[in-house]
Amino acid sequence: MKFRLSHLPQILFDAVILAFSLYVSFQLRFEGAIPSSDWQLFTSGVLIIVLLKLIVFFVSGLYDRMWRYVSTRELRVLALDVLIATALSVIPLYYLSRSAFPRSVLVIDALLTVLLVGGARFFVRYVYELQKHRSIMAESVPALIFGAGDSGEVIVREMLKHPEVKYDPIGFVDDDPAKQGRRIHGVQVLGTHRDIARLAAKHEVEEVVIAIPSAPSSVIRDVVAICDEAGVRCKTLPGMFELIDGTVDLNQIRDINVEDLLGREPVKIDVAEAEAYLKQAVVLVTGGAGSIGSELCRQIVRFNPKQLIILDHNENDTYYLYLELSQRHPDLDLKIVIGDIKDASLLDYTFGKYKPEVIFHAAAHKHVPLMQENITAAVSNNVLGSRNLMVAAEAHGIKRFVLISTDKAVDPTGIMGTTKRIAEMAMQSRCRDAACGTTFMAVRFGNVIGSNGSVAPIFRKQIEAGGPVTVTHPEATRYFMSVPEAVKLVLQAGAIGRGGEVFLLDMGEPVKIIDLARNLIRLSGLRPDVDIKIEFTGLRQGEEITEDLVGVKETVTATKQDKVLVVQDGGFDYNGFAGQLATLEALASRHDVAGLDAQMSEMVPTYKVTGEVASSPAAQTPRNDAERASE
């Protein structure tokens, strides 16, 4: 080790410490009354002991170590250095004192040296970390944690362990009376959520973190309103339906979104059932780049499939999803097929090449206003494309086929809903054959908030533009479900299907569109009807104030899975369906709009014939919430 001038202050400091250590050792040995003969031993031996220790310290590299980062490793090195130096000092001290140098002094001095020299270095580290902590905490966000349970404990522990995340947990709030005044990791439960405003003012709190994944939306709405009134930001952890394994961490803290306010209870699926048919299976998702399809892919990969195949005609979004999944799951065997479900030869080639075992069919034209004026496209994709998939699935021995349907298929009056209902009928007709080797099923759910083109993103754009936010009717209500929640239930339905079922996902209670709009405005930090105006556009032809989840001739029965129901319908003419479908295909091939209108009305009596071609969207009144929610 080469001597540097920067070593000198450390060496001088240690020299003083080592001399002091030896002096205290003599005092302890003789209980404060050192005999004159032993005092002479101290004065003659201190130079030898100090010099030997400094030499050993220097040779071992002790002076090249930065004190602010000292650890137990440096303490072990120091202890070994002291042991070596003490052993080396025995010989010169023996000749100096003729065996009279107290051996107990050497033992005491060795222990004190480790304590004092090591302690000095750890003190420097402590002061450095204290200053660093104070500097970080000066920039940290004072936060209250709502929920002194398991998730709250994890969040506070991580905040204290990682001050660089710049959260300063001021205290907990929890509505459990038994937890009041208790402490977790030194952080006290200061009150209930009703005390947030008072505590925020008292402790200058800037943020409230809701650390209860299972918190009812009514409570979340209450907390959001209190925080809004107090001028405090409110964040939360993901809901239970977003957590496959139920675990949370600090990185999952996020802003409150509209899904948190919908009034939905947490969804729990039987993970073992879903894993049983997805683990080590070859799974294909059509429309995999869409809102539902992409979330299906994200959740499927958590069950460790043997291979995941994404089929979509949207090259850009598919590529982005490919990058996302490849980065998050580098070991995933992921295949991409850019193509269209209307291409029967492509489906036959793809199924023969990859041999999928499970298919989730999420590809569909879903935008209601656009389908009203593009009946041929709706029929070709939603009906005939779905038929192509089912034929290929059966021909290639696919084990499970899950058709993603919609509540718009319930007594449909419009083109999009009618085509989805006919796709359901095509699925049911295949299951009439006992020889069918594929388990076909369909899953219906309502408006998926946050999906492409749904009401929430469009409301947000209107808010960003300064308003107004357009709503059809002050009493209009719709059923809503989040994308992750819908997909979880789809996976569960796929596990319990036995063939031919149309499953209905329990959508909970309907939500007033006006309340949804106001909540979104508040979440943007603005005031409804003050900063952002809300305008009512009126119901358009075919729109209703409320939506139905079950048709007039349909009934529902419960399944063993909570929130998954089976629809029992009045049936249809299975024997004549194949001929009707062939007629529909022939009409679509020559773009016979009037013929398609009449044929669809015959197949689905509730369908309202468009006449010829609906007027273009540009000529229509502004799209309102019912249209957006159904997209």
**Structure tokens that stand for 395 in this block:** 């021909």
Q: How far apart (Å, rounded) are the C-alpha atoms in residues 617 and 377?
A: 16
- CA distances 115 to 42, 121, 569, Å, are 20, 10, 83
> Which active-site residues does the annotation give?
408
* CA separation, residue 536 to residues 186, 258, 629 (Å): 52, 21, 16
| CA distance linking residue 386 with residue 424, whole number of Å | 9
From CA 148, how far away is CA 135, in angstroms rounded? Answer: 27
Q: How far apart are CA 144 and CA 157, in angstroms?
A: 14
Distance CA 91, CA 370 (A): 98
Helix axis angle, 72-97 to 36-59, nearest 10°: 140
Outline where 204-245 has alpha helix (H): 217-230
Instruction: Report the b/e string of 175-211 with b at 16+ CB within 10 A.
Output: eeeebbeeebeebebbbbbeebbebbeeeebbbbbbb
Dist. CA 577–CA 617, nearest whole Å: 33
Instruction: List C-alpha distances in Å: 152 to 182, 355, 454.
Output: 13, 46, 33
CB 54 within 8 A of CB 73: no
> Whole-angstrom distance between the N-terminal and C-terminal Cα of the chain?
73
Taking Cα atoms as reference points, which of 135, 8, 122, 7 lies closest to residue 69?
122
What is the number of other CB atoms lying within 10 angstroms of the CB of residue 70?
A: 20
CB-side neighbour CA atoms (13 Å) of 488: 23
**Of the candidates 63, 86, 83, which has an alpha carbon nearest to the alpha carbon of residue 74?**
63
The residues, any chain, with a CB within 8 Å of residue 274's CB and separated by 6 or more, are 303, 491, 492, 494, 495
Residues 6+ apart with CB under 8 A from 66: none
Tell me the C-alpha distance between 219 and 215, whole Å.
Answer: 7
**Kind and range of the H or E element at 87?**
helix 72-97
Q: Which amino acid is at 402?
A: V
The C-alpha atoms of residue 402 and residue 564 are separated, in whole angstroms, by 14
Q: Is the dihedral of CA 362, 368, 371, 375 positive or negative?
A: positive
For the residues of 435-487, what is the DSSP string, one character each?
Answer: T--SEEEEEE--EEETSTT-HHHHHHHHHHTT-PEEES-TT-EE-EEEHHHHH
Q: Which two tokens stand for residue 46?
A: 């201190």
Compute how many other C-beta atoms are within 10 angstroms of the C-beta atom of residue 541. Answer: 7
Rg (alpha carbons) of the chain, rounded to whole number? 36
